[in-house]
Structures are given as C-alpha cells and as structure tokens.
Structure 1
Amino acid sequence: MEVVRHAVETLDMKTLVYLQPTSPLRTSDDIDAALFIHQESGMSVISVAKVKPWLFELDEGSMLHSIGKISDTRQQGSQVYAPNGAIYIASASRIASGGSWWDAARAYVMASSVSVDIDEPYELMFAELMLNKRIQGS
C-alpha cells in the first residue's frame, strides 16, 4: 500500500484503479462494470469470485479442523467469496488519507473461470490456455 499511496500523493487523480498483472483474464467489460459500481456507490470495489466453502486447518498431527462456520454455509443457502486479485478501485482521497481497498468495499463478482491470480506455474499454464481459447473464439 505504500507504493500505491505514494502514487496517489504524487499524481493528480480522483479514482485509483489497480490492476495486478498477475490477473490477465479480466476484460475491459469487467473493469468498466467495476468502475460503474464505484461511481454509483462512491465506495471501494474489489473483484471477487465464488469459492468452495470447505476450508480447514491442519494441526501438527495432520488432523482437519473446520475454520469457523464457513463449512455450514451451504446449508444456510449463502455463498462464500474471496478476492481474486483482478480489480481494486478506490477513491484517491481514501487511499491518501490512510484508508485501504477494504474500507467499506463493494464486490464485483467475476466468474471463477476468469479469476486466475498467477502465483504458481500451473496457474500460468491455465491462464495461457484460457487466453488462447478466448483468442480462438471458443
């Protein structure tokens, strides 16, 4: 956030749109839709994708332990989401004043198939496959 805050303080801007290069599957339509949410609400926007609600921690003996009540969300009819790293939008004044993306943020939901955040070699291979399919129009 220090680098982002420095950019906001150095450049003249009203809105900051942060697009990580490790999330290449977002489209201009995704960015436009997220910007629309920001402009309409005045709130920060973070892109997210649905995740499977079965999350566990492992103890030293490799025993599974459910994290909170997240494993019960399917029975409650709710869905769990996680940031996908593709789009972060905030007002420059919020960031300059020490705020973060997460302060009163709205979600922009993206499909899981385009929510690749490349941190591992297999994610790069998947992103290349999806980009090639997009280019070929299939």
Structure 2
Amino acid sequence: MTQQLDIVAIIPARAGSKRLPGKNMLPLAGKPLIQWSLDAAKESGVVDLTLVTSDDPAVLELARQQDVMAIKRPLELASDTATTVDAVLNALQQLESKGYSAQRVVLLQPTSPLRTAQNIQSAVQRMEETSATSIVSVCAMDHTPLWANTLPHDGNMDQFLSTELINKRSQDLPTYYRLNGAVYLINKQALIDHHNFFVPPTYALLMDRTNSVDIDTAEDLVFAEFLSRQQSN
C-alpha cells in the first residue's frame, strides 16, 4: 500500500562542481554545506519526508546516518548538462517505487545554506493563502538592472543608458527582484505535467538578501561563513 504524504523535501546534491569541487560537503560554520538544508527541512515542521538525490557517496552516507532517504542519482542525471528538474522527477519516481506518494514537493538546493526553516514555513503558508500551484523564492536585487547593458567591442557607452535614466537616483527607480534558488514549492502533479517549477498561478516568496546567498565559488562560501557567524552573535 502506498503511503500518502503531503510535502516531500528533495535536496539535489550533484558531486561534480568545476568551480568548487565537492562543495556540498565543504564545511560552513562547523557543518557540511548540505547539512544546512537538511536541518532547515527538519526544523520547518511542515516536511513529511526528506530525500537526498546524489551521485556522491559521502553525501548519500551523510543522509543515511540521519535517517534521511538517500537516492543514488543515475550517472546520466549527474552530468553538467542534466537539469535539476530531471533529477527531481527521477527522485519522485524512485520515491513512488518505495511506496510513498506526495501531494507537494519542496526543492531545497544545498547551495542556499542560509535559507531558514521559517522561509520554508512561509512558502507553505503563502501557497495556502493564495491557492498557488507553485511558490518561488526571490530577493530584491542589489543594483537595478536598468543601469546595466551590453557593451560594443570598442567599449563606447553613448547608448549605454537611456536619456531618462541618466540623472535618476536609484531610490526613484522601481525595485527589481531576482530568483535566489532557495525555495521552490509546487504541486507534484503540476511538476510532472509541465517539467518546470513555474506553473500558473505562481507566487513569489520574498526573502532577505542575507538569507539568499548562493554558494557557487570559494568567495561565496567565505561570505556565507561571515553572515552565519554574524547571525549567531
């Protein structure tokens, strides 16, 4: 008999990282990077089952030690060209084969370690308040994209900004938001049907920039270490 769950958290942790090898197990404030997402899922109180999908034996062993479901990711889904959605869908198939079925899926990427249990709770609350199919976390941008443009080969900036923007102050411009990669919550069937996390109606979960750090480089890890220590003081 299939056990029906409401929310399953899926944490994808591919071994390969060219810019920061083995990053999912690198230490951040005294614990492996992936541990931050495992802890947030557990502490949220809204996740019925947490699942780690990885091709990294160390990551899988860490998950098993904490009674977290560990799914060995097929090699074809662990390459540089494999998508996160494909890995999540494969994990859901393997979850079904083990006798579990979920209504909703929350994707927690380990590269967003400062996302909190409260952020996950807020995503669930936002979904229920809006009757959304999916919730996607964002944060305000540090700098307005209206002040950005491409450059020609010679670096000429005569057309870099439109004339109405040249004397504008940043506080007079609209606030722009960016995806921060921290929380994706979606109805499972919608994810299966559409193969993406943006299925209408999709609503934003606004997060602080402090909690939106994305670990991609060694410098990102140093910055996250600094922020985590600031928050603990």
Is TM (by shorter chain) over 0.5?
Answer: yes
Once residues 176 and 190 of structure 2 are traced to their aligned partners in structure 1, the CA distance between those partners, rounded to angstroms, is 27
Runs of 4+ in 1 over 6 A off after TM superposition: none
Q: Which residue is 2:108 aligned to? A: 19
Q: Which residue is 2:227 aligned to? A: 130
Q: Which has the higher contact order (CA 8 A, sep 6+)?
A: 1
Per-residue Cα deviation, 1:29-74 (whole angstroms, up to 9, x for no partner): 11100111122323211110111213222333334545xxx998x6
Q: Which residue is 1:9 aligned to? A: 93
**Structure 2: which 5+ runs fail to align?**
1-84, 96-100
Q: CA deviation at 1:2?
A: 0.9
Once residues 26 and 99 of structure 1 are traced to their aligned partners in structure 2, the CA distance between those partners, rounded to angstroms, is 24
Please, which of 92, 97, 116 is the counterpart of residue 193 of structure 2? Answer: 97
Please, which of 35, 47, 68 is the counterpart of residue 137 of structure 2? Answer: 47
Q: Which amino acid aligns with 2:198?
A: W
Do the aligned residues in 2 keep the contact of 1:9 with 1:96 (CA within 8 Å)?
no
Q: CA deviation at 1:16?
A: 0.5
**Structure 1: which 5+ runs fail to align?**
none
Q: CA deviation at 1:126?
A: 0.7
Gap change, CA 1:75 and 1:27, over 3 Å in 2: closer
Once residues 77 and 84 of structure 1 are traced to their aligned partners in structure 2, the CA distance between those partners, rounded to angstroms, is 21
- Which piece of structure 1 moves more, 46-55 or 12-21? 46-55
Give the count of matched residue pairs. 135
TM-score (norm: length of structure 1): 0.83
TM-score (norm: length of structure 2): 0.51
Once residues 185 and 191 of structure 2 are traced to their aligned partners in structure 1, the CA distance between those partners, rounded to angstroms, is 10
Once residues 127 and 13 of structure 1 are traced to their aligned partners in structure 2, the CA distance between those partners, rounded to angstroms, is 32
Please give the root-mean-square deviation of Cα atoms over the aligned residues, in Å: 2.7
Gap change, CA 1:62 and 1:77, over 3 Å in 2: closer
Q: CA deviation at 1:100?
A: 1.4
Do the aligned residues in 2 keep the contact of 1:8 with 1:96 (CA within 8 Å)?
no
Question: Alignment identity in percent?
Answer: 30
Q: Which residue is 2:54 aligned to? A: none
Once residues 127 and 198 of structure 2 are traced to their aligned partners in structure 1, the CA distance between those partners, rounded to angstroms, is 13
Please, which of 18, 28, 35 is the counterpart of residue 117 of structure 2? Answer: 28
SS in 2 for 1:14: strand
SS in 2 for 1:16: strand
